[in-house]
Structure 1
Amino acid sequence: MNRPVVVGVDGSPSSLVAAEHAARAALLRSRPLLLVHGYLHPFGYGVPLNPYDVGMPGPSEEAQEMLERTAAELVDRWPGLAVEVRQVAGGPGATMVEESRRADLVVVGSRGLGGFAGLLLGSVGAQVAAHAHCPVLVVRPDEQPIPVDAPVVVGVDGSESSQLAVRFGADEAALRDVPLVLVHVGPSGEGRTVPEEVEESQAAYQAEAVRLLADASAAVRGEHPGLVVREHPVRAAGAAQGLIEASGSASLLVVGTRGRAGFAGLLLGSVSQAVIHHAHCPVLVAHPVS
């Protein structure tokens, strides 16, 4: 099954930037690109628009024109790209989550047409990032273009989710022909007034960081022997802050859905949530393909 790269498009600047990233990802993977527009049906907000007309509305001609125009522009800019377009009767978040069941990758922008300016990640992007059945690439437009030759950065903490992120990050770095940087974030040591406590904490962190990064690096080199891999232990007030700072020099940041401190009932851990809201580059949330 040739799973496509799927991107949600609603005509907003954020979704068009996401479509560009999706086009590049599809070409790198030798996958088709599917542009999806989910439109709310009468039950979208729980109440029919007309109690005497509960039928499902048909696709919008305006939306179809927007999709076809976007597809034509992408094909023109990315020769060799195979693009399909589809309108789906349903809310955009639920539509993208459902499409993720048949996708190799789902790409979402930070905010769509219904987004609020004060939100760094709209409700649709957050819903897809948490509930998708395949990896999700969250793209935020930046004032400065992200250099495509910058490394792929992956957060490492030894959890199963982190191990999956390392595998996905290594695959992405190999596809992009850039180095892979493995980052482990340890405590900053601030707030400890006893020198012995600081020294013990630093020693314990150093030993843990060396072990985790060495294990992750060995796994990567086994799968990608020619890939440049760098190990980067950092200290920060929290894992999210450390990864956000590391994202400033990355072309892509890869995170798992939950780290070792995550709760089983949460679909997206607090660190991953913070990162997709505040990272300085696109973020890949490493959901397993189901």
Structure 2
Amino acid sequence: MAEKSVVVGVDGSSSATAAVRWAAREARRRGVALSVVHACLLVPARVPDPIALPRTYHEAVLEQGRRWLAEAAEEARRVAPDLAVETELASGDAAEDLVGRSASAQLVVLGSRGLGGFTGLLVGSIAVAVATHGHCPVVVVRGAETGSGVVVGVDGSAAGEAALAFAFAQAAATSAELVAVRTWSDVFVDTAWHQGLVVDWEPIEAAERELLERQVEPHRAAHPDVAVRLVVTRDRPAHALVAHSRDAALVVVGSRGRGGFRGLLLGSTSQALIHHAECPVVVVPHH
């Protein structure tokens, strides 16, 4: 059976082109094919009979999709000349199509914002939907991609454990430093501190560091060559991870953290990262 491919969704935007470049490099590194997909949602359209058109609306949309696919494939081969690149023009909703493909893919890669975005909308609705419902890790490519190291958020949840495993594997494969970040910020304690009460932070921080070391240890043993840096900070998870993303090549988070509510499929930290991180973000499902 053929290896699962890396799938990248394109729509002709500059954000999608950046996603194609990232996906091509990653597919080459993994030794698998790159599948470039564009989904056309063909809306029924009619014009008055007396108006003669050189081509139908559907033909124009499909032709545009084929052109975007050809340009994306050319860009992928420019980045990785020996890479096997497949293109497919699909019909239907793009998010639904990519979520379906995620069941048989190693990764799904998307740009942070497509052509349909409104001014001020930092991340496209398709990226959010696929990150929320994807069956495999979903990469949202954003930022300048000039940093180094893999940053991972660790919170002890099932999704956080899956993110930690992915991050260690990625760091090992790319000879990158792994930065494991565990944050803690208690609203009651913060309020007490502002009211003038004396709080001894050291025992809290020591306990949090012990938890982080315990969670990291099995992965460190499985990847002894990975340089690991542990960060324990009294901060909100999203704020701390966005700050670390400024110097990172990749930030890895679970799809849903320990504070998630039942039925909330994408955690607030994951959403914040795909909106505001300054480097590519991987959202890892735990199912």
What corresponds to 2:239 in structure 1? 241
Choose the corresponding residue for 1:184, options 155, 161, 182. 182
Find the residue that maps to 1:102 and give its secondary structure. coil
Question: Equivalent residues in 2 for 1:78-157 (5 A)?
Answer: 78-140=80-142, 142=143, 145-147=144-146, 150-157=148-155
Which letter does structure 2 place at the counterpart of 1:212? L
Which letter does structure 1 place at the counterpart of 2:69? L
Which letter does structure 1 place at the counterpart of 2:40? Y
What corresponds to 1:54 in structure 2? none
Say yes or no: does 1:276 pair with 2:265. no
Q: Is the 8 A contact 2:18 2:141 kept in 1?
A: yes
CA deviations 1:232-270 (Å, max 9, x no partner) are 11222x211111111112110000011111112111011
CA deviations 1:92-142 (Å, max 9, x no partner) are 1111111111111000111111111211111111111111111000112x3
Separation in 2, partners of 1:84, 1:132: 21
Question: Equivalent residues in 2 for 1:1-290 (5 A)?
Answer: 1-42=2-43, 48-49=44-45, 60-140=62-142, 142=143, 145-147=144-146, 150-187=148-185, 190-191=190-191, 192-193=193-194, 198-199=199-200, 202-236=201-235, 238-288=236-286
Which letter does structure 1 place at the counterpart of 2:42? H
CA deviations 1:117-169 (Å, max 9, x no partner) are 211111111111111111000112x3xx3225x11000011111111100000
Find the residue that maps to 2:159 and give its secondary structure. helix
CA deviations 1:1-59 (Å, max 9, x no partner) are 411100101111010011111111111211110000000033xxxxx445xxxxxx678
Find the residue that maps to 2:96 and give its secondary structure. helix
Q: Where does the alignment leave 5 or more consecutive residues of structure 1 unmatched?
A: 43-47, 51-56
Find the residue that maps to 2:81 and give its secondary structure. coil
Deviation of 1:73 (Å): 2.7
Separation in 2, partners of 1:67, 1:285: 25
Q: Is the 8 A contact 2:127 2:140 kept in 1?
A: yes
Separation in 2, partners of 1:231, 1:204: 17
Deviation of 1:187 (Å): 1.7
Q: Is the 8 A contact 1:217 1:229 kept in 2?
A: no
Separation in 2, partners of 1:74, 1:208: 47
Which runs of at least 4 in structure 1 moved beyond 6 Å after TM superposition? Answer: none
Separation in 2, partners of 1:91, 1:205: 48
Which letter does structure 2 place at the counterpart of 1:40? L
What corresponds to 2:53 in structure 1? none
User: Could you say what the CA RMSD is over the residues aligned between the two structures, in angstroms?
Assistant: 2.2
Separation in 1, partners of 2:68, 2:42: 19
